[in-house]
Chains A and B, each alone.
Chain A
Amino acid sequence: MSTLRQPSDRVQFIDTDGMPLEDVDHPSMTDDTMLELYRDMYLARRFDRRTVKLNRTGEIGSFPPLYGHEAAQVASAHALEPEDWVIPSYRDHAALHVHGLDLGNILLYYKGIEQGNAIPDDVNVFPINGSVGSQPPHAVGLAWADSLVNDSESVYACYFGDGATSQGDVHEAMNFAGVFDTPNVFFCQNNQWAISVPFEKQTAADSLASRAQGYGFEGIQVDGMDPLAVYDVMRTAVEKAKSPADDELRPTFIEAMLYRLGAHSTADDPTKYRGDEPPEEWQEKDPIPRFRTYLIETGRLDEEEDDAIRSSVEDELADVIETVKSTEPPDPEQMFDHVYEEATPLLEDQREQLEYLRETYGDDELTDHE
């Protein structure tokens, strides 16, 4: 097997050991914001680990962990304003949560309960999408409408993976974004893998960000395991999308370089196609210990505060998980509810047919199979 590309030249503020890099201008961010980033990253990590266990015990179905993506998702979503939008794929739990979606929604979705994708009106996120690479056109349409109706007040941040960039839809969406100058950020988490397919089989190019040039707008690579760097590039992209300079287009393509530290999903066995452990040079970039070291070394966090953060995270998660565990599957007739705004007579007949079957045979017998 060929070797993976190495992290190279890109925006970074924290070195691998967690120390501030010296000859760079650090982003202006309050200590409180930094601690919020840290807490949300830690929450994402723990949510992820606990959810994988829920899958093992059969509480939820197959689940894609975000292990290794914490800094990229948390910091990018923190750089958004409340009026902005997240258009996610299926692994973007932390970005969704930071932008206001209850973690319970995400768990319900992966528990096979439609209600998980029922997003409250005041949360600016689009439903979770599992069809790889198909959501960027929606992000462009949303942003385009905003530019027509609201003069680009909001930014539409679209999340997808390195594998997704091979889909025609992703290319078509970015081309539209350039042509219609839409307020979009295309946030690609290049975690080096698309299930078992390594990045170097996905493209012959070294960089995905460089594609932006072909669309006429800016592309940038960032250390996706450095939350300060991600926050900084995302902030710049968001500001530019809202108020570009005269010679600038609104969209940006950000390629966050990171590593999928876990399995593709709970149904995946990575030892089939890569070593037992992630490569050393990526493991040492693990965003959680790295950022913790940074916060401690720069005097923003001490052990005691860290402990307090950790236990508050566990409490929060325990609540969410309890609620989801005790959520029963919905009434089966719900499947007829939202096919159209108003159910057709045919659907009403079928709803009655299901009701008849349930009454006649009972749910256990009706759903029983060998």
Chain B
Amino acid sequence: MATTDSDQDTQSLTIVESVQDGLRSEMARDDDVIVLGEDVGQNGGVFRATDGLYEEYGEDRVVDTPLAESCIAGAAVGLAAHGMKPVPEMQFLGFSYPAFEQIINHAARLRARSCGQYSCQMVIRTPYGGGISAPEHHSESTETFFAHYPGLKVVVPSTPYDTKGLLTSAIRDPDPVVFLEPARLYRGFKDEVPEESYTVPIGDAAVRREGSDVSVFTWGSMTPPTLEAAENVEDEISVEVVELRSLSPLDTETIVESVKKTGRSAVVHEAPKSVGLGAEVTARIQEEALLYLEAPIERVTGFDVPFPLYSLEEFYLPEATRIEDGIRTVTEF
């Protein structure tokens, strides 16, 4: 994990403010970085993630596009192939599907299909996840779609510090990155975030809490309830919480090391269980550390149903109690 100099100037920011700040500092550093999407200009984004950028960098670099996700992503492919570094926004993850063709068939594989002649240095930013009482389609957590596809990187921060650091890495990364922002945590809390730009490397998980009895792997919006659950059981069970941060590539080494230490593990995600990334984490553990396991790996996840309208979302989402239950199951096995 990148470190912060203690004498560095910092500011207290929420996650959404840290997105703004990360964009602002990369735009200042590199004229090729441009932001495009629906309502990202004068409105500053429906969550205000691009607030102030339009005033600072003008309409040529902070561009309100027509309402067309496919062309937002597809034009970004062309912009990137021409040498720019576009940061297209999908207003919500659930509205990125019209862009699927462009993201999968082109952004992800332009490098491969041009034998390295072209690349797609772009960051597709989008809020994801439930817990915000939003209307239908606004609470999706379908990171698997993107993490499944070779050529894309997928990252998810859960703290303001990591948000700016990972976003900076993503913008500087020579390959296309899907940057998922946990909408539920956008304004939840503040961190001290350096004013200078800094990077948090893509591909590194973070051990958020050390423990010896069980390893719990999670990311994004599920990080706070997982930490809460770990705290709730701390008198009886010593829980290690590993926040993956990077879903593709996955930090197999940190995952495996943790499991070798504890011998038990659970994965927590809000996406539906089947074919969720919990399955991939579980597979890697059994490939590399099967003989260290003392219990089956538990998956605490959303159910295999379309995300319900918001009156039932709290029953769909794994909250701390359900995570605790999973931790107990794997510990008591």
A354, CB-defined interface residue at 8 Å: yes
Per-residue contact bits, chain A 90-118, to B (CB 8 Å; 1 contact, 0 not): 10000000000000000001111110100
Per-residue contact bits, chain A 14-55, to B (CB 8 Å; 1 contact, 0 not): 000000000000000000000000000000000000000000
With a cutoff of 8 Å between Cβ atoms, the chain B residues found around residue A330 in the complex are 311-312
Nearest residue (CB) in A for B63 is A201
Docked-complex contact A335 and B305, CB < 8 angstroms: yes
A213, CB-defined interface residue at 8 Å: no
| A206–chain B nearest beta-carbon distance, Å | 15
Q: B residues 103-135 with Cβ under 8 Å of A?
A: 131, 133-135
With a cutoff of 8 Å between Cβ atoms, the chain A residues found around residue B274 in the complex are 346
Docked-complex contact B46 and A61, CB < 8 angstroms: no
A357 to B38 CA separation, bound complex (whole angstroms): 41
B42, CB-defined interface residue at 8 Å: yes
A8, CB-defined interface residue at 8 Å: no
Q: Beyond A272-B42, A339-B304, is A369–B64 a contact (Cβ under 8 Å)? A: no
| B329–chain A nearest beta-carbon distance, Å | 11
Docked-complex contact A272 and B44, CB < 8 angstroms: yes
- Partner among A114, A267, A336, A339 whose Cβ is within 8 Å of the Cβ of B46: A267
Docked-complex contact B42 and A113, CB < 8 angstroms: no
| A32–chain B nearest beta-carbon distance, Å | 37
A175, CB-defined interface residue at 8 Å: no
Per-residue contact bits, chain B 305-326, to A (CB 8 Å; 1 contact, 0 not): 1101111111110011110010
A210, CB-defined interface residue at 8 Å: no
Most-contacted residue by chain A among B273, B309, B314 (CB, 10 A): B309
Docked-complex contact A367 and B319, CB < 8 angstroms: yes
- Partner among B43, B136, B325 whose Cβ is within 8 Å of the Cβ of A272: B43
| A207–chain B nearest beta-carbon distance, Å | 16
Nearest residue (CB) in B for A132 is B67
A3, CB-defined interface residue at 8 Å: no
A196 to B38 CA separation, bound complex (whole angstroms): 8
Q: Beyond A196-B42, A339-B304, A369-B314, is A357–B64 a contact (Cβ under 8 Å)? A: no
Docked-complex contact B42 and A336, CB < 8 angstroms: no
A267 to B135 CA separation, bound complex (whole angstroms): 11
Q: A residues 45-86 with Cβ under 8 Å of B?
A: 61-62
Nearest residue (CB) in A for B64 is A197
Docked-complex contact A368 and B43, CB < 8 angstroms: no
Nearest residue (CB) in A for B315 is A332
Per-residue contact bits, chain A 322-341, to B (CB 8 Å; 1 contact, 0 not): 00000001101011100100
Docked-complex contact B68 and A167, CB < 8 angstroms: yes
| B177–chain A nearest beta-carbon distance, Å | 24
A116 to B308 CA separation, bound complex (whole angstroms): 13
A365 to B228 CA separation, bound complex (whole angstroms): 13
With a cutoff of 8 Å between Cβ atoms, the chain A residues found around residue B67 in the complex are 132-133, 163-164, 166-167, 194, 197, 202
Nearest residue (CB) in B for A267 is B46
Nearest residue (CB) in B for A169 is B98
Docked-complex contact B303 and A273, CB < 8 angstroms: no
Q: B residues 47-79 with Cβ under 8 Å of A?
A: 64, 66-71
Per-residue contact bits, chain B 187-207, to A (CB 8 Å; 1 contact, 0 not): 000000000000000000000
B39, CB-defined interface residue at 8 Å: yes
B224, CB-defined interface residue at 8 Å: yes
Q: Beyond A166-B67, A168-B70, A335-B316, is A350–B321 a contact (Cβ under 8 Å)? A: no
Docked-complex contact A335 and B312, CB < 8 angstroms: yes
Nearest residue (CB) in B for A116 is B309
Docked-complex contact B95 and A112, CB < 8 angstroms: no
With a cutoff of 8 Å between Cβ atoms, the chain A residues found around residue B296 in the complex are none
Nearest residue (CB) in A for B303 is A350
A193 to B70 CA separation, bound complex (whole angstroms): 20
B22, CB-defined interface residue at 8 Å: no
Docked-complex contact B133 and A61, CB < 8 angstroms: yes
Q: Beyond A168-B70, A329-B312, is A61–B43 a contact (Cβ under 8 Å)? A: no
Docked-complex contact A368 and B315, CB < 8 angstroms: no
| B310–chain A nearest beta-carbon distance, Å | 4
Docked-complex contact A168 and B321, CB < 8 angstroms: no
A267 to B46 CA separation, bound complex (whole angstroms): 9
Nearest residue (CB) in B for A204 is B66
With a cutoff of 8 Å between Cβ atoms, the chain B residues found around residue A273 in the complex are 42-43
| B56–chain A nearest beta-carbon distance, Å | 16
Q: A residues 198-236 with Cβ under 8 Å of B?
A: 201-203
B137, CB-defined interface residue at 8 Å: yes
| B311–chain A nearest beta-carbon distance, Å | 4
Q: Beyond A113-B311, A167-B68, A267-B46, is A370–B228 a contact (Cβ under 8 Å)? A: yes
Nearest residue (CB) in B for A197 is B64
A369 to B70 CA separation, bound complex (whole angstroms): 36
A369 to B129 CA separation, bound complex (whole angstroms): 15
Docked-complex contact A201 and B322, CB < 8 angstroms: no
A75 to B71 CA separation, bound complex (whole angstroms): 34
Nearest residue (CB) in A for B310 is A112
B41, CB-defined interface residue at 8 Å: yes
With a cutoff of 8 Å between Cβ atoms, the chain A residues found around residue B249 in the complex are none
- Ordered by A's residue number, 13 sampled pairs between the chains whose C-beta atoms are within 8 Å are A61-B133, A62-B135, A113-B311, A114-B308, A132-B95, A197-B64, A197-B66, A347-B304, A357-B325, A360-B325, A361-B321, A361-B325, A365-B321
Residues of A within 8 A of B (CB): 1, 61-62, 90, 109-114, 116, 128, 130-134, 163-164, 166-169, 194-197, 201-203, 267-268, 272-273, 329-330, 332, 334-336, 339, 346-347, 350, 354, 357, 360-361, 363, 365-370
Q: A329-B311, A336-B305, A369-B319 are in contact. List 5 more A-B contacts (CB 8 A).
A: A196-B41, A346-B304, A350-B273, A368-B321, A370-B224
